[in-house]
């Protein structure tokens, strides 16, 4: 029998566990479609009485298997990409994820938490307006809206490492930041960007989770129950995302980013 949750006074053990399992399933679905599943799991853990730092680490464990489910759901898109690209980006995310997790474990999180809504709002704006801005820049430089920018590969890798550090430090909104990055880097295929988002989220999450586990910051009964639920949600969300029109997926990403930003500003 898992230990009773340190819960909010209005939550019973049953309602607390139900809240965590439902939030984790929703997080898996949301991560597969638009990202930001931690904005369901993290508040749910806090609502049951888990301290914020432990809630952040436990939430990271809970959503990481969901990335596996959603990555498998996009295996056709990933198989069409060069293996060298996946190896390079996976390595960058692995190193960045560990760096971010270690940073969380040795520094206070208050200042960074205050920056989160601004970062989410910026990422949402980049995702919403990035394609038009990028096309305008390419036309002004004499390129085409479809071609890749000359320096995009290097900038994409630097940006990916920075986002991976963020993801290891505070997972909330990671998917939106990755989608914004790929949009800014010129990835015009929305489902390919979604597949890369899920693959790289899986890699950096697994490495950051290992760091949290090493530090003893994870509440394992809650984490394992939520992880199982998030995995199912991730696979279901990936199937849904592949069937949605690109415009609908983009609308979900933008809407999720605005809602998340508003919730964190209210906090």
Contact assessment for residue 123 and residue 176, using Cβ atoms and an 8 Å cutoff: yes
Q: Which residue has the higher pLDDT, 241 or 180?
A: 180
pLDDT exceeds cutoff 50 at 9: no
Q: How far apart are CA 134 and CA 129, in angstroms?
A: 9
Tens-digit pLDDT profile for residues 18-36:
999 999 998 888 777 766 6
- Sequence-distant (6+) residues with CB within 8 A of 65 are 227, 228, 230, 231, 234
Q: Which residue has the higher pLDDT, 257 or 210?
A: 210
Token pair for 93: 């995310």
pLDDT exceeds cutoff 70 at 247: yes
Token pair for 228: 């199982």
In 18-46, which positions are buried (b, 16+ CB within 10 angstroms) versus exposed (e)? ebbbebbbbbbbbbbbbbbbbbbbbbbbb
Q: How far apart are CA 191 and CA 80, in angstroms?
A: 12
The full DSSP string for 221-248 is HHHHHHHHHHHHHHHHHHHHHHHS-HHH
Mean pLDDT over each residue of the chain, to the nearest integer: 79
What's the pLDDT at 20?
95
């Amino acid at each position: 029998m898992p230990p009773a949750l340190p819960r909010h006074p209005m939550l019973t053990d049953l309602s607390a566990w139900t809240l965590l399992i439902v939030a984790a399933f929703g997080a898996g679905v949301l991560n597969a479609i638009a990202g930001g599943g931690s904005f369901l799991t993290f508040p749910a853990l806090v609502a049951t009485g888990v301290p914020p730092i432990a809630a952040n680490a436990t939430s990271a464990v809970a959503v990481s298997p969901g990335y596996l489910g959603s990555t498998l759901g996009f295996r056709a898109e990933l198989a069409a990409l060069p293996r060298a690209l996946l190896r390079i980006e996976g390595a960058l995310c692995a190193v960045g994820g560990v760096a971010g997790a270690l940073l969380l474990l040795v520094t206070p999180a208050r200042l960074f938490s205050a920056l989160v809504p601004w970062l989410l709002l910026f990422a949402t704006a980049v995702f919403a307006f990035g394609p038009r801005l990028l096309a305008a820049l390419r036309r002004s430089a004499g390129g085409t809206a479809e071609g890749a920018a000359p320096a995009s590969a290097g900038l994409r890798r630097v940006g990916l490492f920075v986002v991976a550090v963020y993801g290891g430090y505070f997972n909330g909104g990671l998917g939106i930041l990755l989608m914004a990055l790929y949009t800014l880097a010129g990835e015009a295929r929305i489902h390919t960007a979604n597949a890369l988002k899920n693959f790289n989220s899986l890699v950096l999450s697994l490495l950051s989770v290992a760091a949290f586990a090493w530090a003893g910051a994870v509440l394992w009964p809650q984490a394992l129950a939520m992880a199982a639920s998030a995995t199912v949600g991730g696979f279901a969300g990936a199937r849904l995302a592949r069937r949605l029109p690109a415009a609908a997926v983009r609308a979900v990403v933008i809407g999720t980013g605005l809602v998340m930003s508003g919730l964190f500003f209210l906090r």
